[in-house]
């Protein structure tokens, strides 16, 4: 497997990309569960069933950091707000303060879903604590969801956002997913403004005036160019890098969609790394579909392992989309692997970045070698992945010809010290560890959708 070679590439001189503290003060992406996939697959969406799912976070995953129970769309009234035009819950299916109390008593946190704007039907209502009516703070544009976008130059716009957050805080909300943000949110099927980024600033400022922390996640497939990326990274804690991951014939996802999400992360991290060495926003690669067998998840065990590897390697949200009442033994082993979660702590500070084909902004490669770190102690995480030819081959250049893929590289090729000796731990194979020098070759062959997940420690 290992043989001496000449000195590696100049990548060893490149400083490791890092994460810094987010605008909300977080030093890691959230972990937990989200309702959307289960809703899409027919779960009756009400408080009882959400509690059943989220109680399993405690029963199965207590102590592993999965502490967010996140409601997706449908928890709130869809046509009007309360007497002050604030977002309010649908009492026929949810009692949000009671749900928050239940979750908090179990050591969990509550997330809710919102979209931009106030309801058109609330135009004549007065913002709480002010003399402004909602019609005064609107810009006249109906975004296609029965809501009017805000005129952020009007002082009442921020006061409305503040009033929404005041009520959320009273209820005990710990995270907000703000969807339909632009530039981004392609193929939305409604009538979004080309730029509604002001809503992100508005929610961030409203969160900042609370006396309790609230995460802000923004969605979806958001523009990575300036000035918008700077708006996201200075006002939100996590941002969706792709479209929805769920979707398939009666299953949670499919391999071709997973491939797309990974490729979108690759394009994102390559682009932002050109301008930033420290990122202050974490990627949201959408829900983590690793908990259930192929009949429910839509992906094989090999592919589930690949998903867990990439989401952890990216330092991304680890928000489970699986049916928590049907977690199988393999899914549980992926979610609770001690070394994986140690690495997740590491990649909360150092996201993985690709080492091959980075000049191609639009197409990835069938095989990729990723590296996270190294940190100042010489620790790095390496992912070797074969995306195969059984999914969406249009994502790759050149087009994959066969399912298997062979790799060959030295640690110095991917940015590690050519003169160091490394002890390598194999995350998914406890007997697969080895020792390698920085200028020695590592090679092997991976079958379709298989990965190697290694932690390198200089000795």
**Cβ(191)–Cβ(180) under 8 Å?**
no
Look at the alpha carbons of 330, 284, 93, 144 in this order and tell me if their dihedral is positive or negative: negative
Look at the alpha carbons of 79, 83, 87, 92 in this order and tell me if their dihedral is positive or negative: negative
Prior bond of 48 cis (ω within 30°): no
User: Which DSSP symbol is given to 423?
Assistant: E
| Secondary structure class of 34 (helix, strand, coil) | strand
Token representation of residue 396: 């790759």
Q: What angle do CA 241, 247, 251 make, to 5 degrees?
A: 130
Q: What angle do CA 433, 349, 330 make, to 5 degrees?
A: 50
Residues 6+ apart with CB under 8 A from 176: 111, 112, 113, 114, 168, 203, 207, 214, 215, 216, 217
Alpha carbon distances (Å) from 440 to 2, 374, 382, 412, 444: 6, 18, 15, 8, 14
| Secondary structure class of 407 (helix, strand, coil) | strand
For the question of residue 187 being annotated catalytic, the response is no
Does residue 239 come out as left (phi exceeding 0), alpha (psi in the -120 to 50 range) or beta?
beta
For the question of residue 448 being annotated catalytic, the response is no
Among candidate residues 149, 179, 242, 328, the one labeled active-site is: 179
Prior bond of 346 cis (ω within 30°): no
Q: What are phi and psi of 417, to 5 degrees?
A: -65, 120
Look at the alpha carbons of 341, 343, 345, 347 in this order and tell me if their dihedral is positive or negative: negative
User: Which DSSP symbol is given to 72?
Assistant: -
Alpha-carbon gap, residue 307 to 97, rounded angstroms: 34
Alpha-carbon gap, residue 380 to 350, rounded angstroms: 9
Quick one: angle between helices 301-313 and 329-336, nearest 10?
20
Paired with 178 in beta bridges are: 114, 218
Among candidate residues 217, 244, 286, 328, the one labeled active-site is: 244
Pairing of strands 278-279, 440-446: unpaired
Name the one residue in this structure whose structure tokens are 């590296």: 371
Active-site annotation, residues: 179, 244
């Amino acid at each position: 497997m290992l043989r001496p070679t000449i000195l590696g590439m100049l990548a060893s001189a490149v400083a490791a990309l890092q994460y810094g503290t987010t605008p909300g003060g977080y030093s890691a992406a959230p972990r937990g569960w989200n309702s959307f996939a289960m809703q899409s697959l027919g779960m009756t969406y009400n408080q009882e069933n959400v509690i059943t799912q989220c109680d399993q976070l405690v029963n199965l995953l207590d102590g592993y950091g999965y502490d967010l129970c996140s409601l997706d769309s449908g928890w709130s009234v869809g046509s009007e707000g309360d007497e002050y035009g604030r977002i309010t819950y649908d009492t026929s299916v949810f009692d949000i303060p009671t749900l928050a109390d239940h979750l908090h008593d179990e050591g969990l946190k509550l997330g809710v879903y919102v979209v931009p704007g106030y309801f058109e039907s609330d135009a004549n209502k007065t913002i709480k604590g002010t003399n402004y009516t909602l019609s005064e703070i609107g810009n006249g544009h109906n975004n296609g969801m029965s809501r009017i976008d805000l005129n952020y130059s009007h002082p009442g716009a921020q006061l409305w956002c503040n009033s929404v957050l005041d009520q959320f805080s009273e209820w005990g909300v710990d995270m907000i997913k703000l969807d339909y943000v632009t530039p981004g949110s392609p193929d939305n099927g409604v009538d979004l403004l080309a730029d509604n980024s002001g809503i992100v600033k508005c929610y961030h400022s409203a969160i900042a005036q609370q006396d309790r922390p609230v995460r802000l996640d923004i969605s979806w497939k958001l523009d990575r160019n300036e000035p918008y990326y700077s708006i996201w990274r200075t006002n939100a804690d996590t941002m969706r890098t792709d479209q929805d991951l769920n979707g398939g014939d009666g299953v949670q996802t499919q391999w071709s969609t997973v491939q797309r999400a990974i490729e979108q992360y690759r394009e994102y991290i390559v682009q932002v790394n050109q301008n930033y060495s420290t990122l202050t926003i974490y990627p949201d690669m959408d829900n983590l579909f690793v908990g259930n067998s192929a009949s429910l998840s839509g992906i094989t065990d090999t592919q589930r392992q690949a998903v867990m590897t990439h989401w952890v390697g990216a330092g991304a949200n680890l928000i489970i989309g699986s049916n928590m009442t049907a977690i199988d033994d393999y899914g549980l082993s992926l979610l609770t692997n001690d070394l994986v979660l140690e690495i997740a702590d590491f990649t909360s500070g150092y996201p993985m970045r690709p080492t091959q084909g980075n000049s191609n902004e639009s197409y990835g490669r069938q095989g990729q070698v990723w590296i996270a770190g190294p940190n100042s102690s010489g620790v790095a995480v390496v992912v070797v992945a074969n995306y195969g030819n059984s999914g969406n081959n249009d994502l790759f250049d050149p087009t994959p010809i066969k399912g298997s893929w062979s790799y060959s590289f030295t640690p110095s090729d991917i940015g590690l010290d050519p003169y160091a000796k490394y002890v390598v731990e194999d995350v998914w194979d406890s007997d697969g560890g080895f020792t390698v020098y920085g200028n020695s070759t590592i090679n092997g062959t991976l079958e379709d959708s298989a990965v190697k997940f290694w932690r390198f420690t200089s000795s």
